Amino acid sequence: MALLEVEDLRVAFGASTAVDGVSFAVEQGKIVGLVGESGCGKSVTSLAVMGLLPRGRAAKGRKGDQPVQAAAEEVAGGSVKAAVAAPQAVPAGGGRRRGGGADVSGRAVFDGTDLLSLPPAAMRRRRGKDLAMVFQDPLSSLNPVVPIGRQITEVLERHRGLKGDKANKEAASLLDRVGIPDPVRRLKEYPHQLSGGMRQRVLIAIAVACAPRLLIADEPTTALDVTIQAQILELLKDLVDHEGTALLMITHDLGVVAGMCDEVNVLYSGRVVESAPVRELFARPTHPYTVGLLGSIPRLDLPLHEPLTPIRGSIADVIRWKDGCAFAPRCDRVADACVAGEPALVGSAHAHRCVMAEEVA
């Protein structure tokens, strides 16, 4: 059985459904990718698994509210703003809930327990220890007025009971492990004194401080330069190879997916539309959306000025899954069958959600 099994996860903010029945599994020591364009529900999925969405009956959902920001806001009480260690993270039905709550249903089974049905206190204990998260924006995820050393030792203290010198030593060795030169000096520095790449390393150090078995990385390199991105990806890969951590990698970059992941789930409008082992997916993309994404990116390994074949329209042109295929308004292969009802996810190793796929393949 896989370490994390997400089954039929649904998240709604008021009337709008952000995640509409997502299922996937992450095995020990594997990297699983969630790919998709902005707004398809990647971050909401990961926040739901981490128990970081404001819960409760949703009030008026506010679109465009960034869930990550909301999460950071929720945990602002702790010195480590990242969700990794903050015990204050989930105000179950309380806290500042300006954006309205999220209705979460489905299951996220981690090592035999359903995280979604855990009481907030129990979830808090697991967060940081068993599963940890790294966000896209390393600056807003760190507390600006606390030295990074303190932000790391706080986690060590809470979850591993390390104190004083011991904690400091461990913090320095963590920084060393994520490739920060001169770690002892760095411990005393504040986030603004570090570069973006360094900050992301610090966040990763905090996330792996308690040797979590699952790490969720939400666009960990999107804000970074390619040369820095290469460093961070290398580091994450190393962690998986040497510690056996499972990694859920959220990204919109198919290049990153190709280089990092073992399994890939392509999301569109809150659902998995294709899922396959990475080589299989790139060798035989089946869903028209995946095919379209691959045709949209300029590549360095193809002849110069190879024309791009974009997907037409935008993600605003979408229909509800219960009416038919959400991708139909943008799909070139659309047929009557596509809007005749809910398309099912077919196949097991290489699954896709397209009624026309067989005909084309």
Partner 1 sequence: MTIAKIEKLDRLIEASVSAREAQTGSLLRQSYRRLRRSPMAVTGAVIVGLFVVVAILGPWIAPYDPTAQTWGREVFLNRNIFPGPRAENWFGLDHLGRDMFSRMIVGARQTLLVGVVATLIGFVAGAVIGGVAAAAGTFGGRWGERVEAVLMRTVDVALAIPMLLLALSVAALMGPSLSTVMVAVGVAQIPIFARLLRGSMLAQAHSDYVLAAVSLGVPKGRIVVSHILPNSLGPVIVQATLVLATAIIEAAALSYLGLGNPDPGSAEWGTMLADAQRFLSGAPQLAIYPAVAIIVTALGFTLLGEAMRESLDPRLRSQE
Partner 2 sequence: MSTEDHALQDESPQVPVQRTAEPELPAASADPALLEVEDLKVHFPIRRGVVVERTVGHVRAVDGVSLQVAQGGTYGLVGESGCGKTTFGRAVLRLEEPTGGRVRLGDDEVTSLKGERLRKFRSRMQMVFQDPLGSLNPRHNVDMLLSEPLKVHGVGSKEERRKLAVETLDAVGLPKTVLERFPHEFSGGQRQRLGIARALMLRPDLIVCDEPVSALDVSIQAQVMNLLDELQGEFGLTYLVIAHDLAVVRHLSDRVGVMYLGKLVEEADSESIYEHPRHPYTKALLSAVPQPDPEKEATRERIILKGDLPSPANPPSGCRFRTRCPWAQDICAEQEPEWREAASGHKVACHFDL
By CB under 8 A, name the binding residues for partner 1. Answer: 14-16, 60-64, 316-320, 323-324, 328-329, 334, 336, 339
Q: Which is nearer to partner 1, 65 or 234 (CB)?
A: 65
Stretch of residues binding ligand ATP (CB under 6 A), selected from 34-42, 83-91, 171-179, 228-236: 34-42
Residue 198 near partner 2 by CB under 8 A: yes
Residue number with CB closer to partner 2 (92 or 139): 139
Which of partner 1, Mg ion, ligand SF4, none binds 43 (CB below 5-8 Å, type-dependent)? Mg ion
Residue 139 interacts with partner 2 (CB under 8 A)?
no
Least gap, CB of 63 to partner 1 (angstroms): 5
Q: Give the strand order in the sheet containing 351-352.
A: 131-134, 214-218, 246-251, 31-35, 263-268, 271-277, 351-352
Collect all residues with Cβ–Cβ distance below 8 Å to 333 and sequence separation of at least 6.
288, 356, 360
Taking the least distance from each CB to Mg ion, the nearer of 10 and 166 is 10
Cβ neighbourhood burial of 339 (10 Å; 0-12, 13-18, 19+): middle
Mark residues 9-28: x for contact with ligand ATP by CB under 6 A, - for none.
Answer: ----x--x-x----------
Chain positions 21 to 50 lying near partner 2, rule: CB under 8 A, are 37-38
Find the binder of ligand ATP among 26, 50, 70, 239 (CB under 6 A): 70
Partner from ligand ATP, partner 1, partner 2, none contacting 339, C-beta within 5 to 8 A by type: partner 1
CA gap 243, 177 in Å, rounded:
12
- Show the 3-state SS of the chain: CCCEEEEEEEEEECCEEEEEEEEEEECCCCEEEEECCCCCCHHHHHHHHCCCCCCCCCCCCCCCCCHHHHHHHHCCCCCCCCCCCCCCCCCCCCCCCCCCCCEEEEEEEECCEEHHHCCHHHHHHHECCCEEEECCCHHHHCCCCCCHHHHHHHHHHHHHCCCHHHHHHHHHHHHHHCCCCCHHHHCCCCHHHCCHHHHHHHHHHHHHCCCCCEEEEECCCCCCCHHHHHHHHHHHHHHHHHHCCEEEEEECCHHHHHHHCCEEEEEECCEEEEEEEHHHHHHCCCCHHHHHHHHHCCCCCCCCCCCCCCCCCCCCCCCCHHHCCCCHHHCCCCCHHHHCCCCCCECCCCEECCCCHHHHC
**Residue 43 touches ligand ATP, criterion: CB under 6 A:** yes
Nearer to ligand SF4, 151 or 269 (CB): 269
Asked if residue 1 binds partner 2 (CB under 8 A), the reply is no
Q: Which does 323 bind (CB under 5 to 8 A by kind): partner 2, ligand ATP, partner 1, none?
A: partner 1
As measured in angstroms, the least distance from the Cβ of 226 to ligand ATP is 11
226 binding partner 2? (CB under 8 A): yes
Residue 41 near which of partner 2, partner 1, ligand ATP, none (CB within 5-8 Å, type-dependent): ligand ATP
Q: Does 43 bind Mg ion (CB under 5 A)?
A: yes
Instruction: For ligand SF4, give the closer residue by CB, 26 or 325.
Output: 325
Binding site for partner 2 (CB under 8 A): 37-38, 181, 195, 197-198, 225-231, 233-234, 252-259, 278-279, 282, 292-301, 304-312, 314-316
Binding site for Mg ion (CB under 5 A): 43
Binding site for ligand ATP (CB under 6 A): 13, 16, 18, 36, 38-44, 61-65, 67, 70, 99, 252
